[in-house]
Structure 1
Amino acid sequence: MDLVDLSHPLDPERMSIPPGLPQLISCPIATVPKDGFSMHTVSFGSHTGTHIDAPSHFIADGKSIDQIPLAALVGVALVLDFTHKGPKEVITWEDLSPYADQMQHGIIVLLHTGWSRYWAKEGKEYFEHPHVEPLAARKLLELGIIVIGLDVPNPDVTGSGDHPFHEIFLGGGGYIVENLTNLEKLKGMKPMVNLLPINIVGSDGAPVRGIAWDEFE
């Protein structure tokens, strides 16, 4: 079985982290030549790299990472191509609605913008990504979609201070996976995806090692 890696490497030297958020730090505290074994301390924010937002990220009584049902994060994916969208352009419900008949409970919707090409690049391009209008969050939930993934850092406008998509989708019991990559490799597949996070008790988010494979292989 050929697996597609949907996650960016957690590399302290090559990361895109919004200003003001914790940086990834990985420090050796023991080495094989000196100590006979190797060990690192690792420090990062709960929304570092490819990660999932639990409802508690914005909803006071929302589920935390350890309370998300595992089955919700493994399943058939519907990959929608929005690579024609430009910087800060909006993805509307009108853009999504032609695919509504393919959306049903259990389907994981992945929005492919191609923006992962800017990951870890100098400049602000990665944070000037397309975003999704709040109406789309309501409509997706109405169709039974509870997991959406994107190859951008945010379904809302990064840096705006407003989070309407997050608030509606997470408030409706949904889960958001951000900073995906390699979605272009799923073209021509009927992809199955696994987006399980590290099981950090009480956390509002956690890194994901996302993988995809063709259901027909």
Structure 2
Amino acid sequence: MCHACVMENVKRSMLSRRHLFTGAAALGAASVASGLVSARPALAQATGRIVDLTHTFDEVFPTFDGQPGLAKEWAVTIDQGYQLWKLTIMEHSGTHIDAPLHFSADGASVDQLPVEQLLAPLCIVDITEKAAQDPNATVDPEDIEAWISANGEIPAGACVAMRSGWAAKVGTPSFRTNAEGAFAFPGFSQAATDLLAERGAASIGVDTLSLDPGNSADFAVHNSWLPGGRFGIENLAGLDGLPATGATIFIGAPKHAQGTGGPARVLAML
């Protein structure tokens, strides 16, 4: 995501805020200076059920800046013997990855994400009730603590996803803005993602346009989570069909050089 009114703030922030995991060692993870952990020991036992967490990406899928994230034209047509589209894609559109490089001058690009982090235990924090009352509701530390009380510790290397019910709004203006035209959608609070970093999570995901709530003026989560060597996933689908714990997420991140992110195919297996 990118928006002209906050670009100057982003530029000021991206060089100064770099955080590493502080609690991974306490969880017994093999984390070193890069803050990267392996999720392999905590993967779910597969039953064969697969849930698609990816929205179909087209020219009208909502984007942060309101401009189409995809354009396509025929490069070769069937009367020439086969068919081939020419695609023009904005990196941060559709169901997509935010790589560390998105909010830091020298962070890891999307092609540099460790493959161990693309296969991870999935933890889902449900704030649907809060979001129904407040469109800019956030996952807060007490929501993380409640999840831990109910489900046990967050596995090292986990992907922690917010379920707000917002995915059902795709295709309507309210997915992006309120009646007054202001951004309005749920996200994480920085206090919650700071706690997740301490707990050793490797990635976060949301079923909305942004890791930060719509009314954020400073992209606090982007500016703290991503420069710490972690990544995010925006515009997830299908989280309402999954339990709070027990699934493994497969994150099909793109692999283009120097990418700040990009559309991804994301699946969960139970």
Distance 1:187 1:104, change over 3 A: closer
Whether the 8 Å CA contact 1:115–1:126 is kept in 2: the answer is no
After TM superposition, give the deviation of residue 65 of structure 1 in Å: 0.5
Counterpart position of 2:202: 146
Matched, 1:95 2:143: yes
1:121-168, CA deviations, whole angstroms, 9 ceiling, x for partnerless residues?
A: 2x2433421122111121111111111111111121337542100111
After TM superposition, give the deviation of residue 102 of structure 1 in Å: 2.1
Counterpart position of 1:50: 95
**Structure-to-structure mapping, 1:129-208, within 5 angstroms:** 129-158=185-214, 160-187=216-243, 190-208=246-264
Counterpart position of 1:16: 62
Instruction: Identify, as 1 or 2, the structure richer in helix.
Output: 2
Whether the 8 Å CA contact 1:133–1:165 is kept in 2: the answer is yes
Structure 1 length-normalised TM:
0.90
Give the AA of the match of 2:63: I
1:11-54, CA deviations, whole angstroms, 9 ceiling, x for partnerless residues?
A: 22x4111235553101112211x211101100111111001110
Aligned length: 211
Distance 1:169 1:89, change over 3 A: same
Cα RMSD (Å): 1.8
Q: Secondary structure at the match of 2:130?
A: coil
Structure 1: gaps spanning 5 or more residues: none
Q: Secondary structure at the match of 1:106?
A: coil
Matched, 1:126 2:176: yes
Deviates more, 1:108-117 or 1:90-99: 90-99
Mapped partners of 1:198, 1:131: distance in 2:
23
After TM superposition, give the deviation of residue 188 of structure 1 in Å: 7.4
Deviates more, 1:82-91 or 1:193-202: 82-91
Mapped partners of 1:62, 1:143: distance in 2:
21
Mapped partners of 1:146, 1:73: distance in 2:
9
**Structure-to-structure mapping, 1:74-85, within 5 angstroms:** 74-85=119-130
